[in-house]
Each structure stands twice: as C-alpha cells, then as structure tokens.
C-alpha cells in the first residue's frame, strides 16, 4: 500500500526529538530504532555509531515521521534545505521511475533510482522548487 511520510534530518538529536514527539502525540516508535552501528560494513566515527540511522514515530491520522542523524564524519551538515524530505513509498518501480523523472528535472542534488542494500528500489532529489523528495518501492 502506498503512503506519504515526512523524513527529518537532525544534527545528532534525532532520538531526543522523536522521544519528545512520541510523548507529545501519545504514540510509540514504529519498530526499533536502527543505529549506524547496526549497519554491516558502514564505517563511521566511533562517536557516531550510536546515533540514529532510522527511526519512525506515528503522529496524527496515521502520518509517519521518519528520522536520521546527519554524520559530521561523512561531511553531512544539517541545514534548512536538507532537513526535511517528503517520502513517497510506492507499490511499483515504474511509478518510482515516473515520479523521479519528473521531480528531478533541473535538480542538482539527486540519486537515481537503484536497488539499495536494505531492499528498496530507492531514489532522492531536490526539485527545482527546493523541495527534497525520497521515492521508493519494495
């Protein structure tokens, strides 16, 4: 089933923020918090291994917030423009390709659709209006 979610990037405060949001909305984390240390083969600074690679919290009406911490050791910098992403989780790859093709026109920041190690056909782009999109299917 397709869904739309919002992905938020944090400068090392994702777990604190999402614990607050879960308490605020009276919900729980959707699944476990995945930490960078949980990813085989991913080399990050020792000080960043316990940071959040992925977390999800339901807020209102089934809307899911997702989060990650940006890693200074990999050159990431959390700033307005890369801290919020609209996530489209789709049922088929052809729709991923169609939407990516349209949204990435004029984009200078993008990742073309491809199979990722976590099992998704995944892409991302910053559209010509400055909105960041993640588009994926299983």
Q: What angle do CA 31, 53, 78 make, to 5 degrees?
A: 130
Nearest Cα neighbor of 18 from 53, 62, 61 is 53
**Segment 50-62, tens digit of pLDDT:** 999 999 999 888 8
- In angstroms, rounded to a whole number, what is the distance separating the alpha carbons of residues 105 and 137? 20
What domains, with CATH codes, occur in the chain? 3-137 (3.10.180.10)
The pTM score is 0.77
CA atoms of 38 and 59, how far apart (whole Å)? 25
pLDDT tens track for 12-55: 999 999 999 999 999 999 999 999 999 888 888 899 999 999 99
From 120, 105, 111, select the one nearest 85 (Cα to Cα).
111
- Report helix, strand or coil for 58: strand
């Amino acid at each position: 089933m397709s869904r739309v979610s919002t992905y938020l990037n944090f400068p090392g405060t994702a777990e604190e923020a999402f614990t607050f949001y879960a308490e605020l909305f009276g919900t729980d984390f959707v699944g476990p918090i995945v930490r960078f240390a949980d990813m085989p083969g991913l080399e990050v600074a020792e000080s960043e291994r316990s940071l959040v690679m992925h977390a999800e919290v339901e807020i209102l009406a089934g809307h899911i917030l997702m989060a990650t911490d940006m890693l200074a050791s990999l050159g990431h910098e959390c700033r307005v423009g890369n801290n919020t992403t609209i996530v489209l989780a789709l049922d088929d790859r052809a729709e991923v390709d169609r939407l990516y093709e349209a949204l990435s026109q004029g984009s200078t920041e993008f990742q073309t659709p491809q199979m990722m190690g976590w099992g998704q056909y995944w892409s991302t782009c910053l559209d010509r209006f400055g909105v960041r999109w993640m588009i994926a299917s299983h």
